[in-house]
Amino acid sequence: MRKCKRYAKSVLGLPLLVLLYSGCATIEKDNSMDTERTLAAAGFRMKTANTPEQRAHLQTLTQRKLVKHEKDGQPVWIYADATYCNCLYAGNEKAYQEYSKLSIQQEVAEENEDAAMDWELWPGSRYWF
């Protein structure tokens, strides 16, 4: 009887774990896509890994995080994504500054989404704080 209960728990738990994992993967992909849209809007250039050598090199780079490199003594910012787009985004200092500005604006806009809250629908809400 114990084995049946343990088996039932593991069988019932597996679909839940799969569902939770797929939900996390979807959120991660959405966040990655938002970042990549912002990078493109800021002036970063996307380069797709087309050759086996490029794909192998892409795997060695820090994934889904902007990292500063130097080329010919000039800063170059690289965002590598071997999982979703199989590409990297490259931008100079000007593009990085624009990306920083757009990221802050996006954060502020997300924080201000609460401005549309209709407090009149929630009696006693003035006493919540």
The DSSP string of 21-69 is HHHHHHHHHHHHHHHHHHHHHHTPEEEE--SHHHHHHHHHSPBTS-EEE
Q: Report if residue 60 sits inside a domain.
A: yes
Structure tokens at 46: 């996307």
User: In sequence order, what are the residues at sequence separation of 6 or more whose Cβ sits closer than 8 angstroms to the Cβ of residue 100?
Assistant: none
Looking at every residue in the chain, the average pLDDT score rounds to 80
0.75 exceeded by pTM: no
Main-chain dihedrals φ then ψ at residue 51, nearest 5 degrees:
-110, 160
SS (H, E, C) 60-72: HCCECCCEEEEEC
Q: Report if residue 75 sits inside a domain.
A: yes
Q: Report if residue 10 sits inside a domain.
A: no
C-alpha 123/C-alpha 129 separation (Å) is: 13
End-to-end CA distance of the chain: 52
Q: Report if residue 90 sits inside a domain.
A: yes
Locate tokens 């774990």: which residue?
17
Which region among 7-11, 100-104, 117-121 has the lowest average model confidence (pLDDT)?
Answer: 7-11
State which H helix or E strand residue 76 sits in: strand 74-81
Q: Report if residue 92 sits inside a domain.
A: yes
CB atoms within 10 A of CB 72: 5
pLDDT given at position 129: 63
Domain of 87 in residue numbering reads as 34-109
Q: Report if residue 126 sits inside a domain.
A: no
Distances in Å between the Cα of 25 and the Cα atoms of 18, 31, 36, 111 are: 10, 10, 16, 24
pLDDT given at position 23: 47
Number of domains within the chain: 1
Q: Report if residue 16 sits inside a domain.
A: no
Q: Report if residue 25 sits inside a domain.
A: no
Q: Write the pLDDT tens digit of every residue in 39-79.
A: 999 999 999 999 999 999 999 999 999 999 999 999 999 99
Q: Write the pLDDT tens digit of every residue in 13-31.
A: 545 444 444 444 444 445 6
**pLDDT band (50, 70, 90) for residue 120:** confident
